[in-house]
Amino acid sequence: GAGVSQSPRYKVAKRGQDVALRCDPISGHVSLFWYQQALGQGPEFLTYFQNEAQLDKSGLPSDRFFAERPEGSVSTLKIQRTQQEDSAVYLCASSPARGGYNEQFFGPGTRLTVL
């Protein structure tokens, strides 16, 4: 079956613009995670959803970052008033188990460049 997909794959934004990044998890996967991967670094946790509930948003770096998963499938990560330090690859991962106890399956990521 299809894996995790993300769109757009690449996004260039001017500083101050709002952006929305989409994640389509594997069908039926309960858990969904967002990670931020800065250049030359490993991914860092941003937030976690179990179905439509956002159970952990402790990794979101500021209140400019907002994520939602209203119907428990597709998720959107929104960044308001983008800053240059937001430039990174944003990875989405889904897992069939609650809490990500099983393997997390990663999408290809969205590379965000803020000019």
Partner 1 sequence: AQSVTQLGSHVSVSEGALVLLRCNYSSSVPPYLFWYVQYPNQGLQLLLKYTTGATLVKGINGFEAEFKKSETSFHLTKPSAHMSDAAEYFCAVSVLSGSARQLTFGSGTQLTVLP
Q: Which residues contact 88 (CB under 8 A, 6 or more apart)?
A: 36, 37, 38, 39, 111, 112
Span of 19-27, 62-70, 71-79, 105-113 interacting with partner 1 by CB under 8 A: 105-113
Q: What's the min distance (Å) between Cβ of 16 and partner 1?
A: 27
Among positions 45, 64, 66, 74, the unique one binding partner 1 when judged by CB under 8 A: 45
Q: Would you count residue 90 as binding partner 1 (CB under 8 A)? A: no
Please give the structure tokens belonging to residue 75: 């998720």
Q: Would you count residue 55 as binding partner 1 (CB under 8 A)? A: yes
Question: Can you tell me the distance from the alpha carbon of 26 to that of 33, in angstroms, rounded to the nearest whole number?
Answer: 12
Among positions 11, 107, 112, 114, the unique one binding partner 1 when judged by CB under 8 A: 107
How many residues sit close enough to partner 1 to count as binding (CB under 8 A)? Answer: 30
Contact 78, 64 (CB under 8 A): no
H helix runs in 2-101, sequence order: none
